[in-house]
Homo-oligomer: A and B are copies of this chain.
Amino acid sequence: MAGSDKIALAFSGGLDTSVAVPWLIENYDAEVECVVVDVGQGLEDLDGIEERARAAGAAGCHVVDVRDAFVEEFIWPTLRASAIYGRKYLLGTAMARPIIAREVVRVARQVGATGLSHGCTGKGNDQVRFELTFAWLAPDLDVIAPWREWDIRGRKDAEAYARRAGVPLPPARTSMYSRDRNVWHISHEGGPLEDPTTMPDQDMFLFSVDPRTAPPEGETVEIGFENGTPVSVNGERMSALALLERLNEIGGRHGVGRVDLVEDRIVGLKSRGVYETPGGTLLYAAHRELEQLVLDRRTLELKDEVAMRYARLVYEGRWWGTEKEALDALIDVTQRYVNGSISFFLCRGNLSVAGRSSSTGLYREEYATFESSSLYDHADATGFIRLFGLPYRLAGQARLEDVQETGAEPERAPDPGEMAGSDWLD
């Protein structure tokens, strides 16, 4: 690149990306345009960030608030897909990366940048997620990942480099943890958590109170859905972002939504993370509860399989492309019927179903009773079971013939009775 080149850098204001600015200028002889994408990191992170960018040497700093789009275009689809990674993780960091990377590309196009950069380390998931979005949206631009190129190996190296480059150090991070925060969740990694045998201290948690100290009287909350999308809390319609923030407050004050997980990173390593997702946990639980009420079993089974695939796709940063769009189209059809509301009683970390309501529900009290009706004649069950079990009867018959004819070990199938003693069929 020539000296007139520009590089768009995903900028967080932290030490890592503050150091990246002079390093990119020095090593790529380029102007650096910082892009700050607000997905709900919290005010303290964004305050004065433009000044920090310029102090680090950036030619420009572009702050974009995409919180609404983040909830509507990234979080809601993932929720509707019931996507969960590693059986527990609600994908808070994974969903944020494609939208941040998209905004970096958008700015890059506006300013005519020829390079894209980010501050992710070489051992984590986020580098993959950033660069897959870059590859999809801007295959013509160069990608520069300073952490995989430079010699800086830790906080001390970075501070030394900053001092040499005349970059003011950001307020010292006093935390032992590496954190990622947005409107959906906060994650905690590193430090004492790297030892999987230790339980996190209560003072690590930031989005939720200790369940033991939550209000003993609890609280009931009702969440309303239209076509699988959350639209109301306790009967009050509100915007996507406001709804999520409301549920974060409610869930958080009852200690709901903590997860402690050993997970498999994209790059082939296992790592341990702790997540707080109070509102998201309520939303996932409510959405699934409503689906159980309104979707037929085959559609539920299909959705369960799709959910695992969707979760891997989101986790691995493969947010764009045909597979994603195809899955979304499938899910959209299923969500036509996901209308109604679910109530939970929250108390000290516990979440109990307090009510289900849907006009499109397939559950009907009159069918559930054990009486016959025009829709269900008990006698039907006889024929059903006989044909449902026909392959069993055929195989059982073959097995029995073998036993009777040969007196020997049945060839057709092992005798399940043997599990509890071999002589009982005599």
A residues within 8 Å of B by Cβ?
66, 69, 73, 86-87, 102, 105-106, 109-110, 121-124, 127-128, 131-132, 135-140, 145, 147-148, 153-154, 190, 194-199, 211-212, 216, 218, 255, 258, 260-264, 266-272, 288-289, 292-293, 295-302, 304-305, 308-309, 312, 318-323, 325-327, 329-334, 336-337, 345, 347-350, 352-357, 359-365, 367-372, 375-398, 400, 411-414, 416-417, 419-420, 424-426
Contacts and interface: CB of A to CB of B under 8 A. Distances in A.
24 contacts: A121-B370, A122-B380, A127-B381, A132-B389, A135-B392, A153-B372, A194-B369, A197-B355, A212-B347, A266-B388, A267-B390, A270-B293, A297-B391, A301-B308, A320-B392, A322-B337, A325-B333, A325-B414, A326-B331, A348-B349, A360-B398, A375-B397, A380-B383, A383-B383
Given A267-B390, A354-B199, A368-B270, A322 B329 contact: no
B420 A73 contact: yes
Given A322-B413, A387-B267, A122 B372 contact: yes
Q: How many copies does the complex hold?
A: 4
B267 A384 contact: yes
A262 B292 contact: yes
Given A258-B352, A384-B383, A378 B296 contact: no
A421 to B, nearest CB: 8
A209 B288 CA distance: 26
B416 A102 contact: yes
A297 B127 CA distance: 19
Contacts of A349: 348-350
A196 B363 contact: yes
B360 A197 contact: no
A123 B381 contact: yes
A151 to B, nearest CB: 11
Nearest to A264: B297
Contacts of A154: 371
Contacts of A323: 296, 298-299, 302
A267 B271 CA distance: 26
A394 B348 contact: no
A211 B348 contact: yes
A396 B135 CA distance: 7
Contacts of A199: 345, 352-355
Name the residue among A298, A326, A381 with the largest chain B CB count within 10 angstroms. A381
Contacts of A131: 385, 389
Contacts of A198: 355
B148 A382 contact: yes
A301 B391 CA distance: 14
B376 A139 contact: no
A412 B375 contact: no
A378 B124 CA distance: 10
Contacts of A139: 392-394, 396-397, 400
